Copies of this chain bind each other. A is one copy, B any other.
Amino acid sequence: MDLTNTLQATRLAARTLAILSTAEKNAAINTVARRLEQAQDEVLQANALDVAAAVDAGMAPAMVDRLTLDEKRWQAIISDLRHVADLPDPVGVVLAKNQLPNGLDVQRIRVPLGVIAVIYEARPNVTVDVFGLAIKSGNGIILRGGKETLRTNLAIIRNIREGLKTTAVPPESVTFIDDPDRDIVLAMLKRYDLIDLVIPRGGAGLHQFCRENSQIPVITGGIGICHLFVDESADIEQSLNVIHNAKTQRPSVCNALDTVLVHESIAGKFLPELSVRMTQAGVTLHIDEKAAAYLTLSPLVQKAAEGDFDREWLSLDLGVRIVAGLDEAIAHIQSHSTGHSDGILTENHANAAIFCQKVDSAAVYVNASTRFTDGSALGLGAEMAISTQKLHARGPMALEELTTYKWVIEGQYTVRG
């Protein structure tokens, strides 16, 4: 494969895609959905080979589970794809419009970004999800999946491109980079002339690799060291429910809770109850010095080790620290948060307002679980990624976040004075 030729073909296809009607894009998505439904056996067989190779290679069972497809999961992926066709088309929306005193009509109109590269690990659902969101938002897409799911991804991509052949969307709009050499990724990351945005989806190492090597704008994110501060006025029973949900509902994801900060004035009452509740759920607490005064150490109640408050656990582990009050809680979050999702549990409106103002994370919560930081849960209808950087988009990114705007200015042979 010649990278330049491949990227140029995607750029060219994306120009056609960018100006298609909503109906044409939706028809293409639905055509591909039908094709992927028919290709179920082919995809599941390819996936079985990937899974067998992963097991042979000694991959951890949790990871193997993430790359495994079955009939039910495959149907859910296709159902999500069809749902994207039902979402509103962001392209062509007039964001601002005014007439200047010199008679110029000035509009800002939403347009696709152009070509987006997504670099991801495991999870074959990403291939289909990204395809749907990219096409719906009018963007060409370069996919670079992990080698663990190569057979699955190639089967999916082959069917997507075959499906597109009967639609208005050029098949070259969707390109999969199957060269196993990492140098090809390095070469991609320098082609700012042909790619407009890079979205890494994977661990911290992948994000760091993209940040360090890309000359193309990168959306980094998806790494969440998430906090909840239990203020002295918080309802204890309900706070325990929120912490239980944020920690245990799906511990392996980025919006799961990592650290609980407890106001010292309620520590004596709150910590023993927290310990009971977490022990029941199989959660190991990692407690600071002050909290140790209120709890008995055990296999599920350990002293926090160096760095434990800077860990994204992704497991049934939870840091616990006692703070003197709101200011110390905010200071801890400012030092240790990755800017993903942080919240306060309180009955004190003034404290809630100060927390929301001073904690500069993508999502700031009052009396709610951090688990809601997700495109679907926050009403965007879908999710491409979660940004923890400040530029362009913050928090969940869906269709609108895959667009930019252009200024369209119309005059009567108007000149500048």
| A residues with CB within 8 A of B | 15, 18-19, 98, 100, 104, 106, 111, 113-114, 192, 196-197, 211-212, 215, 217-218, 235, 238-239, 241-242, 244-246, 249, 334, 345, 352, 356-358, 360-369, 371-373, 377-379, 389-392, 394-395, 404-416
Contacts and interface: CB of A to CB of B under 8 A. Distances in A.
26 contacts: A104-B372, A111-B360, A196-B391, A211-B215, A212-B215, A217-B217, A217-B390, A360-B406, A361-B406, A364-B409, A365-B411, A366-B408, A366-B410, A367-B413, A367-B414, A369-B415, A369-B416, A371-B416, A372-B414, A372-B416, A390-B404, A391-B391, A392-B392, A394-B404, A394-B405, A395-B407
Most central of A196, A197, A372 by chain B CB within 10 Å: A372
A212 B214 CA distance: 8
B217 A411 contact: no
Contact of A368 (B104, B113, B377, B392): B104
B413 A368 contact: yes
Contact of A392 (B352, B391, B407): B391
Nearest to A213: B215
Given A390-B114, A415-B242, A364 B408 contact: yes
Contacts of A197: 390-391
A217 B416 CA distance: 33
Given A18-B360, A361-B406, 20 more contacts: A15-B334, A15-B360, A100-B378, A104-B368, A113-B390, A192-B211, A217-B389, A217-B390, A239-B413, A244-B415, A362-B406, A362-B407, A363-B409, A364-B408, A372-B409, A373-B407, A378-B407, A378-B409, A391-B404, A394-B407
Contacts of A409: 363-366, 368, 372, 378
10 closest pairs, A vs B, by CB? Answer: A368-B411, A245-B415, A238-B413, A392-B392, A371-B416, A366-B410, A363-B407, A368-B414, A217-B391, A390-B404
**In the complex this chain forms, how many copies of it are found?**
2
Contacts of A362: 406-407
A306 to B, nearest CB: 20
Contacts of A242: 413-415
Nearest to A109: B356
Nearest to A106: B378
A241 B410 contact: no
Contacts of A389: 196, 217
B415 A371 contact: yes
A148 to B, nearest CB: 28
B235 A413 contact: yes
A212 B360 CA distance: 28
A212 to B, nearest CB: 6
Contact of A100 (B18, B244, B249, B379): B379
Nearest to A11: B334
Nearest to A208: B215
Contacts of A215: 211-212
Contacts of A238: 413
Contact of A98 (B217, B352, B358, B379): B379
A368 to B, nearest CB: 3
A97 to B, nearest CB: 11
Contacts of A357: 19
Contact of A15 (B235, B358, B369): B358
Contacts of A369: 411, 414-416
Most central of A98, A113, A114, A413 by chain B CB within 10 Å: A413
Nearest to A379: B100
Contacts of A239: 413
Contact of A356 (B196, B211, B408): B408
Contacts of A373: 407
Given A391-B196, A394-B407, A416 B377 contact: yes
